[in-house]
Structure 1
């Protein structure tokens, strides 16, 4: 039996119906949804109206539409903090503020990681740093990705999903700025050694040391960036 969706706010109502279909059906990221034709019949709407709602959900990562394949549940379905992909490049003071934001968030998360990290978290952190160690010969793109993966893994190990998403959003949306910070900082070995020290404190369960080392690490980066930017 079709479910009629009426105005006002047809797109909003249809979006909620689609989300309810996913959740009530127990669908998980990667699971396939019915075709656009089947969904439009189910909700008694035209295919263009349905596709508008699907595009809204795709913009937040709740669904993924693959041409010639179908509609799938997205990996960001339950995400609380959604990055804004439309923000332009950060300049000057904004770049400093990005580092200030990270300095407020990441050191306490490192302390929580030292308290809460399980063997899976620690293995992930070690694997990321092992990979980073192989990129110290000058492979900027790979080293950047490994460095950002370390910060993401440390935030994840803290066990606070919302703050994990905040860190991920800062690093994802402003990846070009993060690469620029790496270029300006330009001390691969020092950066790597500081990451190793942070991991060592987390592995030992030393909350105070993990927090202080993460704060010092980010402060060092900010100091160099400020000197270079003038």
Structure 2
């Protein structure tokens, strides 16, 4: 007898459907933080999927920090998942690229305007250092530097209520960054410098506009490759 109630999974987008089922079990309360998932064999039987499909789903859940997989203890629902519902919601839409990009835009446009009021000189210096590092690594994959740039701005907003959103934002950034097949270092540097300059001058409108221009460019670049 299966412990959890789940619908029969069709053969399309199987790994996403398994992921959706686990998240829905969390949201319905059938799964709770600290719970251990059934064995791989039981889950394969319950969801009617192969081992590779199941492992792909579990890897996605681990990337989203919803579960922790341990060789001897199995797969455990993370204790802090209840305080980070945005990660669960992100999991439900992780393959909806337009929605992920729009979520990034909504979050980052708000965060950059708040950062205008709160960003410190040290954070501005760190922000500028990421731009300098991109300049020095323009012929390499500088995605991690781009993510650091956006993380500094998000954390500069210093709002504990949106802390969970920032984690989801960084995961969304990693997802969209993985879809970029070529880099435009000159454009990236130009956009980041404009955002940095606006933050330095505490100009809310300029920061908003510069971030919107940057994210719109990213959106067009990614969606045109879909």
TM-score normalized with structure 1 length: 0.57
Query: Which of 128, 134, 137 is 2:136 aligned to?
Result: 134
Tell me the distance in 2 between the aligned counterparts of 1:130 and 1:206: 22
Asked whether the 8 Å contact 1:81–1:162 carries over to 2, the reply is no
CA distance in structure 1 between the partners assigned to 2:82 and 2:201 by the alignment: 32
**Count of residues in correspondence between the two structures:** 161
Secondary structure, aligned partner of 1:177: helix
Q: 1:77 to 1:168 in 2, by over 3 A?
A: closer
1:112 Cα deviation after fit: 1.0
Please list every run of 5 or more consecutive structure 1 residues that lacks an aligned counterpart in the other structure.
Answer: 1-11, 16-58, 68-73
Q: How far does the alpha carbon of each residue in 1:35-91 deviate from its partner, in whole angstroms, 9 at most, with x for none?
A: xxxxxxxxxxxxxxxxxxxxxxxx669x9x9x9xxxxxx9x799645635966862x
Matches within 5 A, 1:4-23: none
Corresponding residue of 1:208: 205
* Structure 2 residue aligned with 1:168: 167
Q: How is 1:1-230 mapped onto 2 (pairs within 5 angstroms)?
A: 80=84, 83-84=87-88, 90=95, 94-137=96-139, 139-140=140-141, 143-172=142-171, 175-180=174-179, 182-183=180-181, 186-229=183-226
Unaligned runs of 5+ in 2: 1-31, 35-64, 73-77
Q: In 2, are the aligned partners of 1:89 and 1:177 still within 8 Å (CA)?
A: no
Bigger Rg, which one: 1
Q: Is the 8 A contact 1:110 1:214 kept in 2?
A: yes
Alpha-carbon deviations, 1:8-52, whole Å to 9, x = none? xxxx8x96xxxxxxxxxxxxxxxxxxxxxxxxxxxxxxxxxxxxx
- Quote the Cα distance in structure 1 between the aligned partners of 2:143 and 2:178: 6
Structure 2 CA distance for aligned equivalents of residues 174 and 157 of structure 1: 17
Residues 174 and 192 of structure 1, relative CA distance in 2, 3 Å threshold: closer
Q: Map Cα deviations across residues 167-187 of structure 1 (whole Å, 9 max, x no partner).
A: 33233266243221x325x32
Given that residues 111 and 157 in structure 2 are in contact (C-alpha distance below 8 angstroms), is that contact kept between their aligned partners in structure 1? yes
Native 8 Å contact 1:125 1:153 kept in 2: yes
Displacement of 1:196 after TM fit? 1.2
TM-score, length-scaled by structure 2: 0.58
- The answer to whether the Cα contact below 8 Å between 2:104 and 2:172 also exists between their aligned partners in 1 is no
Aligned-pair distance for 1:126? 1.9
Aligned-residue offset at 1:132: 2.1
